[in-house]
């Protein structure tokens, strides 16, 4: 098959980029695979280009490049096709609308895969008949605002398939949206086998990783670790990740660490790339999020041989961790429960080692080869069915495009009126 992924920016760092690279590299061993990045802001991908995969970009933001697009007049005009409800809307423009549309019109592929809602909308609206249209959901339906959910409900009906990273989110798509004929399947993210030896269960370090944002609830983890230190002062906590440009969350966490007298026990380590060597220095991983669309760090830690103590938050952890076997699930926001689960593993060396081995074995189901096979099966079935056997037809496409044009005009009037009212207010 000829497979084309459409990615926001393949040259940055993020879970969607990482899992797309993992999948594309495995698929490239048997298929013709390309990754088309809407934006390019640096010469080389920060995560390294996946082997065997063709890399292309649509908008060049490298100021030293002779093809720099930052001064293009349409780059300053707001996007009309990329939906306003997508959190990246302000980065898109009339220029990206035109470049994406031209790319999709001329696309020579059997399957085109979008990797965020705004790009999925482009694929649904602008891809010519022929390629299988697949929209990936790397967050969750519930995490999107009303405006974007409305757009998804209207536009995704022209896709052939939607894949989510958890079965819980797939159920949301099936039950809350009317997408007749669209295949909705749960296919988890993939994580390759680590390139470092497994973690040593004798290590006395707990590791956490992820952006320093409120949703990760590192304040709960730090409170819990204060209780751990009271019983086992020989253990330490390392938190990897950076926050937003203001540094407000990091500052708040530093104050909390100081107030609890934990400066010798808790360290904010900043970013690490690759993360594998840092996971391997610990013996337990901790996740205290109030929401996880999947939980890439959980799988990454497990693949390195760390049992994970995680909150049982929506949606991912409970589909990754078998409580009491390869990790522990605790209530969201409960620092006492987090501390208790950590201490259970800390105080029992044999239990910690057994749980670590179970975690490493269980996480093999997320190997890229296995996950790629799930995507291949779905896409091959859709390709084999052809246009007549898939969700759309020429008439249905035309009908939806016409209806979409009317809705676009109505939305434009509504947004303009709202902007006028805000300026007057």
Segment 167-186 shows an average pLDDT of: 96
Does residue 388 sit in helix, strand or coil? Answer: helix
Assess contact for 22 and 47: CB atoms under 8 A: no
**pLDDT at res. 391:** 55
Assess contact for 212 and 249: CB atoms under 8 A: yes
Please say if the pLDDT value at position 372 is more than 70.
yes
Binned at pLDDT 50, 70 and 90, residue 243 comes out as confident
Assess contact for 107 and 127: CB atoms under 8 A: yes
**pLDDT at res. 394:** 52
Give the sign of the dihedral formed by CA 44, CA 37, CA 374, CA 388: negative
Fold matches, 2-190+370-392 and 205-366: yes
Instruction: Please state, rounded to an integer, the average pLDDT across all residues of the chain.
Output: 92
**pLDDT at res. 13:** 86
**pLDDT at res. 392:** 54
Torsion of CA 69, 21, 271, 255, to 10 degrees: 90
CATH architecture of 2-190+370-392: 3-Layer(aba) Sandwich (3.40)
Segment 24-34 shows an average pLDDT of: 98
User: What superfamily does domain 205-366 belong to in CATH?
Assistant: Glycogen Phosphorylase B; (3.40.50.2000)
Please say if the pLDDT value at position 395 is more than 60.
no
**pLDDT at res. 128:** 75
Please say if the pLDDT value at position 418 is more than 50.
no
**pLDDT at res. 422:** 43
**pLDDT at res. 334:** 98
**pLDDT at res. 295:** 94
Query: What's the predicted TM-score (pTM) here?
Result: 0.87
- Residue ranges of domains in the chain: 2-190+370-392, 205-366
The stretches of 181-295 forming alpha helices (DSSP H) are 218-231, 248-259, 276-279
**pLDDT at res. 283:** 98
Task: Of 35-44, 56-65, 392-401, give the lowest mean pLDDT range.
Answer: 392-401
State pLDDT tens for residues 260-305. Answer: 999 999 999 999 988 999 999 999 999 999 999 999 999 999 999 9
Binned at pLDDT 50, 70 and 90, residue 407 comes out as low
List the end-to-end C-alpha distance of the chain, in Å, as a whole number.
55
Per 3-state DSSP, the chain is made up of helix, strand and coil in percentages (nearest 5) of 45, 15, 35
In sequence order, the 6+-apart residues with CB closer than 8 A to the CB of 97 are 79, 80, 81, 82
Segment 200-227 shows an average pLDDT of: 97
Please say if the pLDDT value at position 390 is more than 80.
no
CA 364 to chain centre: 19
**pLDDT at res. 69:** 98
Buried/exposed 65-89: b ≥16 CB within 10 Å, e otherwise: eeeebeebeeeeeebebbbbbbebb
Segment 405-415 shows an average pLDDT of: 51
Task: Of 52-66, 98-112, 234-248, 371-385, give the lowest mean pLDDT range.
Answer: 234-248
Distances (CA, A) of 270 to 118, 168, 243, 420: 30, 32, 9, 43
Q: Angle 15-27/296-303 helices, nearest 10 degrees?
A: 60
Please say if the pLDDT value at position 328 is more than 90.
yes
d(CA 212, CA 231): 27
Segment 402-412 shows an average pLDDT of: 51
Does residue 100 sit in helix, strand or coil? Answer: helix
């Amino acid at each position: 098959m000829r497979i084309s992924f459409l990615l926001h920016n393949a040259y940055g760092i993020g879970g969607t980029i990482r899992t797309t690279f993992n999948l594309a590299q495995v698929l490239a061993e048997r298929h013709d695979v390309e990754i088309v990045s809407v934006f390019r802001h640096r010469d080389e991908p920060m995560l390294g280009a996946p082997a065997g995969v063709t890399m292309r970009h649509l908008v060049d933001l490298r100021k030293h490049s002779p093809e720099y697009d930052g001064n293009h007049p349409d780059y300053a005009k707001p996007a009309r096709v990329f939906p306003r409800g997508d959190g990246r809307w302000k980065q898109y423009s009339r220029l990206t609308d035109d470049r994406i549309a031209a790319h999709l019109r001329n696309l020579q592929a059997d399957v085109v895969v979008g990797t965020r809602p705004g790009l999925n909308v482009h694929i649904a609206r602008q891809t010519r008949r022929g390629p299988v249209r697949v929209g990936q959901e790397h967050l969750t339906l519930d995490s999107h605002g009303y405006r974007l959910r409305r757009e998804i409900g209207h536009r995704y009906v022209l896709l052939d398939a939607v894949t989510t990273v958890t079965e819980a989110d797939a159920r949301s798509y099936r039950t809350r949206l009317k997408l007749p004929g669209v295949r909705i399947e749960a296919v988890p993210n993939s994580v390759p086998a680590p390139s470092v030896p497994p973690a040593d269960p004798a290590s006395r370090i707990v590791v956490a990783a992820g952006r320093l944002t409120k949703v990760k609830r590192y304040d709960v983890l730090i409170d819990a670790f204060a209780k751990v230190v009271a019983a086992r002062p020989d253990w330490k906590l390392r938190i990897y990740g950076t926050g937003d440009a203001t540094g407000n969350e990091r500052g708040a966490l530093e104050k909390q660490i100081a107030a609890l007298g934990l400066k010798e026990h808790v360290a904010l380590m900043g970013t690490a790339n690759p993360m594998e060597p840092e996971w391997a220095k610990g013996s337990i991983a901790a996740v205290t999020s109030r929401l996880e669309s999947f939980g890439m760090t959980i799988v990454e830690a497990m693949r390195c041989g760390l049992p994970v103590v995680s909150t049982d938050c929506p949606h991912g952890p409970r589909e990754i961790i078998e409580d009491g076997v390869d990790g522990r699930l605790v209530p969201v926001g409960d620092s006492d429960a987090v501390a208790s689960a950590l201490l259970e593993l800390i105080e029992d060396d044999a239990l910690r080692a057994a749980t670590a081995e179970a975690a490493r074995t269980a996480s093999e189901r997320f190997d890229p080869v296995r996950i790629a096979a799930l995507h291949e099966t779905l896409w091959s079935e859709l390709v084999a069915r052809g246009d007549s056997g898939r969700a759309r037809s020429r008439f249905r496409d035309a009908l939806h495009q016409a209806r979409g044009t009317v809705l676009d005009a109505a939305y434009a009037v509504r947004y303009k009126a709202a902007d006028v009212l805000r300026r007057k207010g």
